[in-house]
Amino acid sequence: MKVFDKLYIDGQWVASHGTGTIDADHAATEEAITRIPEGNEADVDAAVAAARKAFDGWADTPASVRAEALRRISAELALRADDIAMAIATEVGMPLKLARRVQTDGPVANWAAYAKVTESFEFEKRVGSSLVIREPIGVVGCITPWNFPLNQITLKVAPAIGAGCTVVLKPSEIAPSVAFILAEAIHAAGLPAGVFNLVTGYGLVVGEALAKHPEVDMISFTGSTRAGRRVGEVAAQTIKRVALELGGKSASVVLDDADLMAAVKGTIGNCFLNSGQACIAQTRMLVPAARFEEAKAMARQVAEAFTVGDPLVEGSKLGPLVSAMQRDRVVGLIDRAVAEGAELVTGGSEAPFAKGWFVKPTVFATTDSKSTIAQEEVFGPVLTILPYADEAEAIRIANDTPYGLGGGVWGEEEHAIKVARRIRTGQIDINGGPFNPRAPFGGYKQSGNGRESGVYGFEEFLEYKSLQLKPLSRPAPPEAAAVPG
């Protein structure tokens, strides 16, 4: 078992004020493999105090110096890439090769990408007689999930540090190793004490303490809509900025001029990535009613080609879910779909192995867009196929959930873009277009608020300040200079 027995606060590894520990398990063997401290409110107070003390100095540090620090962190993470990928494969369950390519190499590169954003960003701009300044918002509390642990940490911590903020990170206790590896990399990179702090523990204790803390200026949270609602409620008591990236029930809309097999393969590949444990997973595939039966047959063929197995074994395309609780929730939703009358095209709730939290790749078909399986986020390898009569109905079904995070449209490109414009969601893949880390990522409706990735994610950690200077030319008429409100 790997034991991380200290928290990282004010540039040092320190003992927690709490006396408990938390174990994280191997998703394929069910054995405890990682142990971390069960931090408490006193640890949060210490971390926030360190971040507050470090803030002024870090905010005044030239952007070029902050950018160079991000590059050093990226380089230190690259040295630890094998350890990161192994931690994700075992704790989360993603097959090792994918864990290295998707969950390790991408985030490591993103630290360096945010160095470029930091040094090229325009922090000051003259607007008429005003000098408009962008300043770091202050101390940021980052609360991150288990499904893409390094990626979600990176999309918060890297831009926050680049913008001049200081950070307290509370990672998921379910897949915590990468947060400690990151802290080791940050320490080796020589980031000033207090700029980054790590406190582990349970959300109801550490997360709540961060969200309500009066010295925390912003909370950036990724997780379930239910938990995000609570974070927003608690944070509202101190009127701090809140960025939320929450759940999704994304639709892949297959138009009548699409390559159906390409659409089926692309949608299932998206839906089953990380065993379906992705908020942006396209878990509903909408197809023309005339091609409903054809789409079901294709989906069965594609889904059954996904080899379920140990994430460390060569050839495994679909690993286990992250925990017994997650597996039980997904199995419960599969059984409920059957009970509600959905057609089980392939898969089902029967466990494929005696050990490990595995779920078979599963496909349902239903004409009921209001059914549980067509409305609730599953967070497992489960696709639901729905027919539509015409494009207006396809768009209505795509928009008819509380969420609006991701989606896809398949068809002739101009046609697909026209349809995509009418779907209320933050990101839509056109014909399987790849994820772009420089484009904004975030949701509509109950999928959250704010944006991550690229310069858009960087700007989330900045405040505006206007310096009203004496006009350079003749003053405006009095009515134009009225004080607002």
Q: Which residues are catalytic?
A: 245, 279
Contact (CB, 8 A) for 397 and 251? yes
Q: Identify the sign of the CA torsion 466, 467, 471, 476.
A: positive
Burial 84-113 (b: 16+ CB within 10 A, else e): bbbbbbbbbbbbbebbbebbbbbbbebbbb
Instruction: Show the tokens assigned to 107.
Output: 């985030």
**Residue with tokens 């027995």, as numbered in its chain:** 5
Instruction: Show the tokens assigned to 154.
Output: 């990176």
Give the CA count within 13 Å in the CB-facing half-sphere of 63: 18
Number of CB atoms found within 10 A of residue 159's CB: 31
Contact (CB, 8 A) for 337 and 371? yes
Contact (CB, 8 A) for 461 and 123? no
Question: How many Å apart are CA 288 and CA 419, to the nearest integer?
Answer: 14
Instruction: Show the tokens assigned to 115.
Output: 């160095």
C-alpha separations of 94 from 223, 226, 307, 326 in Å? 18, 25, 13, 14
**Residue with tokens 């065993």, as numbered in its chain:** 275
Contact (CB, 8 A) for 357 and 93? yes
Biggest distance spanned by C-alpha atoms of the chain? 81
**Residue with tokens 């990535």, as numbered in its chain:** 273
